[in-house]
A and B are shown apart, each in its own frame.
Chain A
Amino acid sequence: MTATAKSGVEESAAITASAPRATSEWTRRWQRFLRNWLAVISLAFILVVSVVALASPIIAPYGYATIHAGQELLPSFSDGFVMGTDPLGRDIFSRLIYSIRTALFIAIAAELISLSVAFVIGLVAGYKGGKYDQILMAATDVMFAFPGYLFAVLLVAVMGRSTWAIILALSIASWVGQSRLLRAQIMRLKTMEYVEAGRSMGAGGWTLVMRYMVPNALGPVLVTVSFGIPANMLAESGLAILGLGVAPPTPSLGSMIIDGYAYVLNHPHLIAWPTIIFIAIMVAFTFIGDGVRDAFDVDET
């Protein structure tokens, strides 16, 4: 009886092993990620925050620009205003969750754009090499001499403070690193024997890149995404701190912080809430990023 069960287990193991390699690889990575409880808790926290942020029009007790005359600068835990109100009498909790929604939207959109650009450029430069590669590397040199956020500031200053201008500025500031990463991955994979085998069996350039190389190049890219989204959120609120964020009255974590700073001595709750929540989000992303990196086993320490 036991022997049959055992052979059954072996059989299923054999089936798993013969399944397409990509699937089992991803399952293994996912299981490795799940073993890191800190990362799992962080992921759950970020998911909750994202849902709250997405549903902010439903969850927020008031609109982000609703002014309650006569109820300015209420302290935290006041009646009807969990986190208190700002100098204009606007509910801080409502503004906070709307801010997170804006930040997440901008961060993810910018990440997707820079990722798409990086894919095209990285794959072409890595696979074709030669002239394409040299042009990319020259552009890279220039962009690396230009700290990303300086460039973002410059772009927003020129294009104005619209949401899309900020998204564009953030994605332009970060495509270079990802392009270089993808290029390096493709160059490494290009010389692998299994790719050579694919080529000798008549696979064309497109198939070679998309079917043979991209799946194996994705790991490190995913790691940069898990660090890139929080970096974009930071950059978005950083721009707002400099006075170049989304135009008011749309709230942003950065503008809540810099506007509240003038009142910090007597009304510290104005910056305490956005700071605490923002730090919690950043720390959670750090743990998720570490978890993803460990899951992909790209770091040896």
Chain B
Amino acid sequence: MKIVMFVGRRLVRLVLCLFAVSVLTFGLLQLAPGDFAGIQAAGGGNVSLAQQATSETRSELGDRYGAEVPMWEQYTTFMTGAVTGDLGPSYRYPHRTVEEIIASAFPISAALAVTATLVAVGVALPIGILAAVRRRTILDTGTMFVATIGNGLPNYLAGLVLVLIFGVALGVLPLYGWQGPEHMVLPTLALAIAPIGVLARYVRSSMLENLRQEYVVTARAKGGRESAVLIGHVLRNSLMPLVTVVGPMFASLATGTIFVEQIFGIPGLGHYFTQAAVSRDMPLLMGTTLFFAALLMVMNLLVDLSYAAVDPRVRADLGLASEGRRRQDVADGDGTGDTGQPVSAEGTATRGAI
């Protein structure tokens, strides 16, 4: 029962937040000089849009967002559309509707984020385990040093390094476009590098912490092979808190593909968001922004629920979830979210994404 209350309360907050985001976005866009149809017609965004648009879409855009339509009516039209899934045509791509664009572009970004997360976990686990087991050897310090550097690399710089190595020097992978699976390799790796650094360090410290526990002594005393102790006991217990890191990481990846999409020319959601911003395509910009915000908030909710699933202490706290979060803020006073406590997804959202 409590869980239903918790989810319900969070959903109400989510809807209120989305409402605020929509008002904020819409208000901001109104501050831009001129009405949007006018800017587009004058070529403020991209070339020859006025010719491109059929008279039909132009009149539909005029009906929805023309200069003579009052501002609040434009807003309610948009929001009604957002709820019913009818956002109307885009300015930049007059032959397509906004919901069509989102539906075609989001799976691409999502596929990138999912594969990048899988690659990150797959690479970071063995690295972290190895570093923990061979603690204080060159293997440990070396990999952790590389992990630190990787952690500080934003995805587009990492992507450029990969481009220079695999695309230019070795010439084995395509540098641009989105046709076959080989086009996925470089963008995925670019996205995965920073998460690998974070995860490998996290796995290492989590393993080390568990290796100190008394149950390890017991397991060894019972005569189990070292590998059995490591995999059967230590690793299993070290993996639980990992869920709390992977969740927010995936959330920030799902909305953070924008730069990689721009560099590699991938037609994902981030690409359309950018195009909409550059050409001031109001319907598409509103649509993608709201979609991103909703996506992020739903992911954060799921992450919080997954904390509850792995950590009974959080579960006990559920009724007081928002208070619990504030107390955690006070404890995690350095703001870096590096305390080894379950890190709030919200903490990573501000900067982690870039």
Contact = CB atoms under 8 A, between A and B. Distances in A.
Contacts of A243: 274, 278
A238 B259 contact: yes
10 contacts: A141-B13, A144-B346, A146-B289, A148-B351, A174-B351, A181-B333, A243-B278, A264-B163, A293-B336, A299-B334
B286 to A, nearest CB: 10
B125 interface: no
Q: How large is the interface on B (under 10, 10 to 19, 20 to 34, 35 or more residues)?
A: 35 or more
B21 interface: yes
A272 interface: yes
B17 A264 contact: no
A73 interface: no
B157 A282 contact: yes
A268 interface: yes
A60 interface: no
A147 B290 CA distance: 11
Contact of A149 (B13, B29, B300, B353): B353
A192 interface: no
Given A174-B351, A264-B167, A300-B339, A157 B278 contact: yes
Given A180-B329, A272-B164, A282-B152, A173 B350 contact: yes
Given A174-B350, A301-B205, A142 B149 contact: no
A134 B28 CA distance: 24
B148 interface: yes
Contacts, number: 179
B262 to A, nearest CB: 6
A145 B258 contact: no
Given A142-B24, A278-B157, A298 B152 contact: no
Interface string A132-160: 00000000011111111110011111100
A269 to B, nearest CB: 10
Given A141-B13, A158-B31, A173-B350, A188 B334 contact: no
B210 interface: no
Interface of B: 13, 17-18, 20-21, 24-25, 28-29, 31-32, 148-149, 151-154, 156-157, 160-161, 163-164, 167-169, 175, 205, 252, 255-256, 258-259, 262-263, 273-274, 277-278, 280, 285, 289, 292-293, 296-297, 300, 329-330, 333-336, 338-340, 346-347, 349-351, 353-354
A285 interface: yes
A209 interface: no
Contact of A238 (B149, B285, B338, B354): B354
Contacts of A111: none
Contacts of A258: 262-263
Secondary structure dominating the interface of A: helix
A243 B339 CA distance: 37
Given A147-B292, A187-B330, A220-B335, 9 more contacts: A153-B274, A173-B350, A174-B351, A238-B354, A244-B278, A264-B163, A275-B164, A285-B152, A299-B339
A228 B335 CA distance: 12
* 5 closest cross-chain pairs (CB), A and B: A286-B152, A298-B334, A157-B277, A181-B335, A144-B346
Residue from the set B18, B20, B31, B169 with the largest chain A CB neighbour count within 10 Å: B20
Nearest to A230: B152
Contacts of B297: 145
B278 A176 contact: no
A218 to B, nearest CB: 12
Residue from the set A147, A157, A231, A264 with the largest chain B CB neighbour count within 10 Å: A147
A146 B175 CA distance: 31
A146 B17 CA distance: 10
Contacts of B163: 264, 271
Interface of A: 141-150, 153-158, 173-174, 176-178, 180-181, 184-185, 187-188, 220, 223-224, 227-228, 230-231, 234-235, 238, 241-244, 257-258, 261, 264-265, 268, 271-272, 275, 278-279, 282-283, 285-287, 290, 293, 296, 298-301
Given A150-B289, A298-B334, A271 B152 contact: no
Nearest to B294: A145
B175 A299 contact: no
B350 A158 contact: no
B277 A154 contact: yes
Contacts of A150: 255, 258, 273, 289, 292
A153 B273 contact: yes
B334 A279 contact: no
Contact of B351 (A146, A188, A231, A293): A231
Contact of B335 (A188, A223, A230, A231): A223
A220 B20 contact: no
A227 B351 contact: yes
Nearest to A180: B329
B148 A148 contact: no
Contacts of B353: 147-149
Nearest to B264: A261
A298 B339 CA distance: 9
Contacts of B149: 283, 286
Contact of A184 (B161, B258, B329, B350): B329
A187 B329 CA distance: 10
B160 A298 contact: no
B17 to A, nearest CB: 5
Contacts of B339: 299-300
Contacts of A287: 148
